[in-house]
Amino acid sequence: MEEQPDPKLLEAKSSSSTACTHADRDKRSSSSSASTKYKLTYSVGVAENVNTRYRPTMEDVHTYVENFVERLDWGYFAVFDGHAGKEAAKWCGQHLHTLLGDKLIREENRDVRELLNETFIKADSEIAKNVRGSSGCTAAVAVIRWELPQDGEAEGGVKDEQRLSLDKHRRMLYTANVGDSRIVLFRSGKAVRLTYDHKASDKLEIKRIEENGGLIMKNRVNGMLAVTRSLGDQFFKDLVIGNPYTTSLELDMETDKFIIIACDGLWDVISDQKACELIQGIEDANVAAKTLVDYAMEKQTTDNVTVMVIKLG
């Protein structure tokens, strides 16, 4: 069994572009005016399957934004896995990148992990006010951006009229997640998990739930919800919080090959390492994503499946 990441990183400091948003199956929108005349150092591929044998509707949503916040070669990538309806996942797909982008612009020199944490908490609050019903979603979000290495300052965001000077900047990857959607980096031939599975079977999460007056029955919060952190799920909000697990690391152009972001419809039937090995020889990101979705279907996953692959150059 693959190990969870270091639980000491469980929470950031917290309180109690061309955009593709697939919040509707037939809706895609563009929300960035950044220039595309310079080739990006990454490529994005997405594949999905409703899995009608087990699921009548698609409750997953994915979003990616190239040249995020109009900074050349920055990127935002996210998968949201809805439950009890699609409304919370749809809201996140349409709005979470805007919430985060506003923070990155206004507070450019702050730790991005803190901004991600605050964005998730804000999104949770906005869902409570703006989304009808009791739906919820897991969330896995990754941000790639260039930074100057001195003192960790975030001055590496270059306007589209400027060329990116690779020798003066470092490429950083920031991630945040709630629930069991997962982000995996393929580095030096090994899968590196960058997220934490917030499940009702996890000892740390069981302890937190019980200390707050909840019960874990049959590996579910109060016998009903399988994840212990999510966005939405207003009926469980005292127990099922929106504070994410966050990570940051510097990407290496030589050793880091690609990133997989996927819902549990994939991870329920394949290990992190096997998923990486299955697509390591595939150059096209869309083909790689479809390969993983097809594998999950062959292994008879019982959930919707959404896979995003970011190939790194």
Select from 33, 72, 49, 64 the least CA-distant residue to 311. Answer: 64
For residue 218, CA distances in Å to 135, 136, 225, 237, 288 come to 21, 20, 10, 20, 35
Contact (CB, 8 A) for 169 and 157 = no
Contact (CB, 8 A) for 270 and 302 = no
pLDDT at 269: 99
Q: Which residues of 230-263 are buried (b: 16+ CB within 10 A; e: fewer)?
A: bbbbeebeebbbbbbbbbbeebeeeebbbbbbbb
Phi, psi dihedral angles at 58 (to 5 degrees):
-90, 120
Name the average pLDDT for the chain. Answer: 88
Which are the contacts of 16, defined by CB distance < 8 A and separation ≥ 6?
none
221-235 per-position pLDDT tens digit: 999 999 999 999 999
Parallel, antiparallel, or unpaired for β 245-250 and 75-83? unpaired
Burial class (CB in 10 A: 0-12, 13-18, 19+), 134: middle
pLDDT at 25: 45
Task: Give the other-Cβ count within 10 Å of 29's Cβ.
Answer: 12
CA 101/CA 103 separation, integer angstroms: 5
pTM over 0.85: yes
CA 265/CA 21 separation, integer angstroms: 20
CA 300/CA 153 separation, integer angstroms: 46
Ordered by where they begin, the domains of the chain are 9-197+245-312 (3.60.40.10)
4-19 per-position pLDDT tens digit: 664 333 333 332 255 5
pLDDT at 47: 98
pLDDT at 12: 33
CA 184/CA 142 separation, integer angstroms: 10
Question: In the chain, which residues have pLDDT < 50?
Answer: 6-16, 24-36, 151-156, 158-164
CA 48/CA 309 separation, integer angstroms: 12
CA 298/CA 53 separation, integer angstroms: 12
Parallel, antiparallel, or unpaired for β 136-147 and 231-232? antiparallel
Q: Which residue has the tokens 């899995």?
A: 51
Select from 75, 299, 284, 305 the least CA-distant residue to 171. Answer: 75
256-292 per-position pLDDT tens digit: 999 999 999 999 999 999 999 999 999 999 999 999 9
Tokens standing for residue 55: 């699921």
Select from 154, 142, 159, 183 the least CA-distant residue to 73. Answer: 159
